[in-house]
Structure 1
């Protein structure tokens, strides 16, 4: 039994903070920390001991008494200083956190006994040498407050972080696909789309670091944020644990229904049900005492849910996930100067859903994610001042979904007569099977020379996606049926006389193995200019090369140089306040999703047909609906047998990047209270997208006349020069199309060439924060963010259309989209309040709370009509036809910029918890109750933003109707035991 181990860890932060601040450099790597300090006598021997596992390191302080222990595994350490003729000075329970530096000050006095020598007597809440922004929070911190058991929930505790599209998280207005997640130094972000990532159970995590800005050149390939997590490790004591979490449906509030404009139920959610539980079983201890340790966990789980589809429960989806996680970590202290860590885990997860329609079983759908991951890390303390670290690993992320009826059932969605329902025996839009892997290798070095900490290294990732996609049905086609009016324009097509019904047919098949090599190198100097000022200057070099299905190069970008400079000033020289600034550039690689879909064996066609009727057939006891197609009215065709060539992809593509500038000031208000203010500016440019181009030689004098009309789908930077290699009859020649001047627009009403704007996202913010450190009694944090996210491009993925494929969104399908999209972006969040805290009532009882209040996001409405193209579904812009809509040449439009129809209402949420801790037969026991959304604030989170359904001038009756609300109140019960 570990007597009072739980509470002993709780006070470590306070004791660490009482150790005072020294003029060291504040920098640590991405999965460890560092400890620096000063001792009153130069040349003293400094010994560091980790009592948990016996790790010991000894170095000698320099002539001025400065010392530094780099790249330490996170944990709690005892520090001793000794010198002949002096008492031994000792500081106990010094906490080393991920990505942070802990500082101690020790005083040697003449004598020959051991004493505890602690100076300062205040809490270390300000890192006076850092210009980075973000938070560190460990497992014990998280147990005090109600928080979801997910990495995203932890990240949302930080300022400037919000929930974005597709269930992801947005840092500073960035797309949810622009983040990076690390576990023990291994990047586990999905390389295919950048939205998902691998993860381990919450009970396996030891500590989190959320980097919101200003981070080191060691980190790259992201223009959003970084989530840095470290897992638990074993020690010299055998420990066993069990955590049970249960979220019963019986304690869940009734979820609000969503209605059609006529009052009928659109989504019947009041009868939905959900029960979930997880059981985490862990064991840890020594294999060889003081040398080799293990930590292992197995987590079985069960999630049962029922979703009601329509007005009555005859339509329902019954889902079950009974997947199990396994994971293990080995730590080998080869010697005092050589360490090795092995992490392996599998987060494979599959949800099976039985689909019932009209009370009859229809199919079993599956959804699979996750994969097997491992990393091996070696750390060598080669001298007191030179450290090397190497990591090799692999992450695997599967993302697959489909249904048992998909091979033989058509997906037919009928909108005629406002039916708006599936009438075939499949409801799935696509059947996907894709597995992405990352083979990672990196080397990191630190060299401490006088007042300079020189950090350098290299970082290579070989990425691959094995991608397979097809539309359900025997002919790989899905159908949407519409009522149309003869003589009008629908979906960009003039409807012929006598035609009243139309079928849009979407056909798709893909099979590709796409690869990407990403290489990087960095060097950084952290210079302690004097005792009060630190300058951090670094350069990062990146190179990205993507290969398509046949092994040829899809596109390549190298020599991307990202400078970053940070300055921090301990204003009063006492560690009580700091002014800091940061300026840096960050590059974003293209996700493999583009090459997987466009640069291999593919068939993609969208067609419009006259609908002449329906026929049915019985297949495996189900009724398959087959639309009878008449005349083809229009189509878009994109197919590839092996990949794309130099005539399809920009031969001089520019890299996507973001510039960032931060100014801030932090200060101690008292021994336990600190406050800070930060001003942030970010500028995101050079998106890489698929885009439609249609130009004639006469559109620009630089275009060669022999090439004739250049039109079709191309990949490059919208709004910039598009450099292609075309064969116009005289062999290959280089052709440059100035997209900012000559791009045209589909079916341009004026007949004039329309140039395209460049995609851009700007973000400005002011963050205010007030924090009180935990002191065994209570803690609190108050944060407010004012921000403005605006431009014409939010980043990879387009939540409005449901397109989660970075680089493959509709934003550049026509130049008029970007040209009219300027304004408040989807992740614009002008006001964001976050409050969290915990209070220890007595030795057993504790309460906590988290409160969030967010101003509503903008309603960014679009229509299918505009003054550029008249009517074209591929060019939904911020215009609305208000008169003469049947005569496009004389139609009148009004501009409807982002937010024209207002904003969503405020979102508020209060989560509370209470826990009871005691000791039972030598075991530490904790019982918990968490209530999420205590006030059951089911505010509207999204509305229908399509003004019309494809008919020019009509306002759809469903426009502005709610189609999403916040989750209802629910309760989580938990119990934990440690012995």
Structure 2
């Protein structure tokens, strides 16, 4: 074969790779694989082969010359084409990537060969005109060249529009969504935490082969998310035996000290400089054939040693942690024949940590007597089995079944004899620790997801039909209580005599001689809670012309959340989610495209809702005047402080749960409307030359509805006597519950309350009924412009940069509240009564107006590489929350502050002023630069030594990412001395050395 013939053949395929074929339908892929599509001569036989596994698949091009090979495992292949026994073009290498289509035109009408570049067997393109979604693919090899920490969250933050949550419960925000709206998949298995949707199961980093981060426009096979999707695929074995070992070291001395924080009086309120962290990981792996060309394995084990220590805020207690988890993961792939594949994936992320608590003297850095031990068990075993069948050239199927387990078990030695005590900063502290335990709960939860799904692809001429069904059974076995006698948690708050406290049962006024109050809270719940989610989808991808692709899909979701007795608690079905997209190859050569996507996405109800409202929750709150501190001694001879309880203030509040399930018909909207989001994306992308490409897109997202708890204290028919109570429903919409239809005080039928106009009884100071007030409708919009430029890796250097200009506005962040640090998903304070969110429209906590991201690698020599990763973001808005409002005597967070007559017991005599979202400026910009230096050295014919030294947050920026946003903590005309006080900060600089040897 002449070199000229080979070059022309490879260039033709390079032009097609990642671009639109001449008349092929749009290519979609399953959750854990990829696809190859393209154009050749009619009737030609196209064969794809993976020499590393012996896998081979052959299809025949249709009458228009189109071919499609779906459900291909991620990896490197050789593609060839022949007709009448004669090879049409030379075979060439093709890389199949996760969740994408590789488009290869084999001869025929490929044009503009100068638009692409081929280096050896590498085929490089930058524009995929078959795609209408927003996604970023990142391979394991790319990550090994970059200073990216070894977590899924770190990988996801490389994508434009993804920011880290600023609350204490962390998480990631995709495109303005809250951190509780995302979905995470490993080899097609959903591993998202369904308890409160803020978290996920995570395998060791070396287990993964490739990642895809979907930030919008994803197809109908993905659902149950209004945020983003992280899709990962695990490594697998081949016909060659390979093995390796990797050592990761982060000594404590390589971690910069966090800064202590001092208030305006010079008093330390956050102690962090004595915290220490260290990590040592040893990962060993092996892969190869069990039966050549038939059965393959990949297996790894990671031993991890962690010994972080941290002090409490006051610097009076120190906890030394010891965790030695043994992570493992494996994949087994069986090529039954070229038409049938079977794959097993399994991993364990079980972790056991012991935290030993000591008395501590900050000034002398002296560790005193041991006071407690805290035991925390997390994680679990996960596995999935996937069967793939290629029925015909045009019909394929993939079936998956798997289980995802997550344990969360926290307890301590002091749980029996010790209560937890906390006090806000304004309260004068004693010279000994508060309480005799640092545990805040004794809780155990075992979550089990059983998932099954089937996905099909059927090619019919210019149409590609994709359809499937998936089902999840999500079960939570849960028990929780506070530690100590009576299972009571004591919170101490500062207050002035005569001021009100948040006791809905009345009597909550601080008596003379007392300067604070104590909330004694007893909280207990247990039970088994189950949720089932199911969906089916259908999508048609139509290649209207050689340059224009249209797709139209529909997804139908159904959610059924059950109570502890197994009865349906919140059931919603027939949630139809249409999605439409287009891609126009403007020049017909695959170098320039305009694309768009319009879709609807539904969010399920987290299991925490079943547990908190449908499981016999006991939430008993008793208020006392604060009589100072008393010093006691525990069994080990350690002194600690407990609050002295003065007179009880009002009755016992059980409005949040009295220990019984009750008649759930009166607690749940019978005709619940689902939470969903509509999204519109319009974009442009173009190749500049053979390596460079750029693009711009605009995104608009609008969230509809909320499901949250509301206290309905009146109905339109019965007025103030139509009290219903706490209802899980749709704020600002009609809610139908079991209530009093004839106003005799006894629930006897269905009552519909239009909560946009009614539901909350209003009274004057003399107790006269004034009428009703309704709730504002939840609102959230996200508008963004995204610019991106990319240079592909060519063994010399690579570069990617993005800039996102965005606006995230509304009155509801989502199912959690980051600004008030509330993570009970779907039970926020936002809609407890109509006044909590009144005047609350503005920029939301995840609003980051500007985001700049850059990453790149440069090979100084074949043996030395430098890498960089820069993340710059503007800060989030700062709100000054008040207490109460000018319209009703309530004590929740509000968007009003009292400025005069605040001591008056009559709310209408007080003078308030508006304190809207974002009024008090923004958090500072954050700058985070990572840098790495890598040394590479060949070992024999196939081995390699890799040594990478990476520094994260190189300039040790410790900017504030969250502040105290409580402008007033009680109804008074004084503001909190801790308002805008910094609470959370960027992680200090740390260094990491990774040494790996691969054979």
Q: Shorter-chain TM-score: what band?
A: over 0.9
Name the structure 2 match of 1:174: 177
Equivalent in 944, 948, 968 of residue 948 of structure 1: 968
Name the CA distance, whole Å, in 2 between partners of 1:942 and 1:526.
Answer: 45
Q: Structure 1 residues 914, 730: closer, same or farther in 2, change over 3 A?
A: closer
The equivalences for 1:598-637 within 5 A come to 598-611=613-626, 620-621=635-636, 625=642, 627-628=644-645, 630-637=647-654
- Equivalent pair of 1:598/1:643 in contact (CA under 8 Å): no
Name the CA distance, whole Å, in 2 between partners of 1:259 and 1:616.
Answer: 26
SS in 2 for 1:582: strand
Deviates more, 1:901-910 or 1:331-340: 901-910
Equivalent in 825, 840, 843 of residue 824 of structure 1: 843
- Equivalent pair of 2:626/2:643 in contact (CA under 8 Å): no
Name the structure 2 match of 1:158: 159
Deviates more, 1:749-758 or 1:669-678: 749-758
Equivalent in 536, 542, 560 of residue 521 of structure 1: 536
Could you report, residue by residue, the CA deviation over 1:404-442 in whole angstroms, capped at 9, with x for unpaired residues?
212221112245753288521023222221111110010
Name the structure 2 match of 1:959: 979
The equivalences for 1:521-670 within 5 A come to 521-611=536-626, 620-621=635-636, 625=642, 627-628=644-645, 630-637=647-654, 638-642=657-661, 644-670=663-689
Could you report, residue by residue, the CA deviation over 1:313-332 in whole angstroms, capped at 9, with x for unpaired residues?
x5211112111101111000
Could you report, residue by residue, the CA deviation over 1:472-509 in whole angstroms, capped at 9, with x for unpaired residues?
11201111234443322233522234544422111110
Q: Structure 1 residues 666, 225: closer, same or farther in 2, change over 3 A?
A: same
* 2:381 aligned with 1:366: no
Name the structure 2 match of 1:342: 344
Q: Structure 1 residues 731, 103: closer, same or farther in 2, change over 3 A?
A: closer
Name the structure 1 match of 2:221: 218
Name the CA distance, whole Å, in 1 between partners of 2:12 and 2:485.
Answer: 66
- Equivalent pair of 1:822/1:897 in contact (CA under 8 Å): yes
* 2:90 aligned with 1:70: no
Shift of 1:614: 6.2
Name the structure 2 match of 1:910: 929
Name the structure 1 match of 2:82: 82
- Equivalent pair of 2:288/2:297 in contact (CA under 8 Å): yes
Name the structure 2 match of 1:442: 453
Shift of 1:104: 1.4
Q: Structure 1 residues 751, 263: closer, same or farther in 2, change over 3 A?
A: farther
Q: Structure 1 residues 511, 629: closer, same or farther in 2, change over 3 A?
A: farther
Could you report, residue by residue, the CA deviation over 1:169-204 in whole angstroms, capped at 9, with x for unpaired residues?
100010111000000000000111111111111111
* 2:939 aligned with 1:884: no
SS in 2 for 1:141: helix
SS in 2 for 1:62: coil
Name the CA distance, whole Å, in 2 between partners of 1:748 and 1:690.
Answer: 25
Name the structure 2 match of 1:739: 755
Q: Structure 1 residues 268, 414: closer, same or farther in 2, change over 3 A?
A: closer
- Equivalent pair of 2:561/2:610 in contact (CA under 8 Å): yes
- Equivalent pair of 1:536/1:567 in contact (CA under 8 Å): yes
Shift of 1:892: 2.1
* 2:342 aligned with 1:328: no
Could you report, residue by residue, the CA deviation over 1:711-735 in whole angstroms, capped at 9, with x for unpaired residues?
4211111111221112556772111
Q: Structure 1 residues 891, 108: closer, same or farther in 2, change over 3 A?
A: closer
Name the CA distance, whole Å, in 1 between partners of 2:427 and 2:393.
Answer: 78
Shift of 1:20: 7.7
- Equivalent pair of 1:746/1:814 in contact (CA under 8 Å): no
TM-score, length of structure 2 as denominator length: 0.92
The equivalences for 1:254-273 within 5 A come to 254-273=257-276
Deviates more, 1:558-567 or 1:23-32: 23-32
Task: Please tell me the root mean square deviation across aligned C-alpha atoms, in Å.
Answer: 2.3
Name the structure 1 match of 2:853: 834
Shift of 1:19: 5.1
Shift of 1:551: 1.5
* 2:947 aligned with 1:932: no
- Equivalent pair of 2:495/2:970 in contact (CA under 8 Å): no
The equivalences for 1:295-444 within 5 A come to 295-310=298-313, 315-358=317-360, 359-415=368-424, 417-419=427-429, 422-444=433-455
Q: Structure 1 residues 575, 943: closer, same or farther in 2, change over 3 A?
A: same
Deviates more, 1:781-790 or 1:264-273: 264-273
Equivalent in 785, 799, 813 of residue 780 of structure 1: 799
Name the structure 2 match of 1:48: 48
Name the structure 1 match of 2:991: 971
Could you report, residue by residue, the CA deviation over 1:801-843 in whole angstroms, capped at 9, with x for unpaired residues?
3321111111112211222211000000100000111111111
- Equivalent pair of 2:11/2:117 in contact (CA under 8 Å): no
Shift of 1:752: 4.7
Name the CA distance, whole Å, in 2 between partners of 1:965 and 1:325.
Answer: 30
Q: Structure 1 residues 831, 310: closer, same or farther in 2, change over 3 A?
A: closer
Name the CA distance, whole Å, in 2 between partners of 1:146 and 1:14.
Answer: 35
Name the structure 1 match of 2:211: 208
Q: Structure 1 residues 512, 130: closer, same or farther in 2, change over 3 A?
A: same
Could you report, residue by residue, the CA deviation over 1:77-113 in whole angstroms, capped at 9, with x for unpaired residues?
001112236345233320001110111122399xxxx
* 2:682 aligned with 1:679: no
Could you report, residue by residue, the CA deviation over 1:893-945 in whole angstroms, capped at 9, with x for unpaired residues?
22111111100111111111110111234521100010111111111111111
Shift of 1:793: 0.5
Q: Structure 1 residues 494, 729: closer, same or farther in 2, change over 3 A?
A: closer
Name the structure 2 match of 1:863: 882
- Equivalent pair of 1:26/1:127 in contact (CA under 8 Å): no
Name the CA distance, whole Å, in 2 between partners of 1:815 and 1:14.
Answer: 64
Name the CA distance, whole Å, in 1 between partners of 2:632 and 2:276.
Answer: 34
Shift of 1:370: 1.2
- Equivalent pair of 1:129/1:568 in contact (CA under 8 Å): yes
- Equivalent pair of 1:223/1:657 in contact (CA under 8 Å): yes
Name the CA distance, whole Å, in 2 between partners of 1:282 and 1:438.
Answer: 28
Could you report, residue by residue, the CA deviation over 1:199-243 in whole angstroms, capped at 9, with x for unpaired residues?
111111000011100110111110000110000000101111111
Name the CA distance, whole Å, in 1 between partners of 2:762 and 2:935.
Answer: 66
- Equivalent pair of 1:610/1:633 in contact (CA under 8 Å): no
Name the structure 2 match of 1:3: none
Could you report, residue by residue, the CA deviation over 1:652-687 in whole angstroms, capped at 9, with x for unpaired residues?
110010000111111111111111111111111211
Shift of 1:644: 4.6
- Equivalent pair of 1:89/1:108 in contact (CA under 8 Å): no
Number of aligned residues: 951
SS in 2 for 1:274: coil
Is there any run of 5+ residues in structure 1 with no aligned partner, and where?
1-11, 110-116
- Equivalent pair of 2:18/2:126 in contact (CA under 8 Å): no
Is there any run of 5+ residues in structure 2 with no aligned partner, and where?
1-9, 119-123, 361-367
Name the CA distance, whole Å, in 1 between partners of 2:202 and 2:12.
Answer: 30
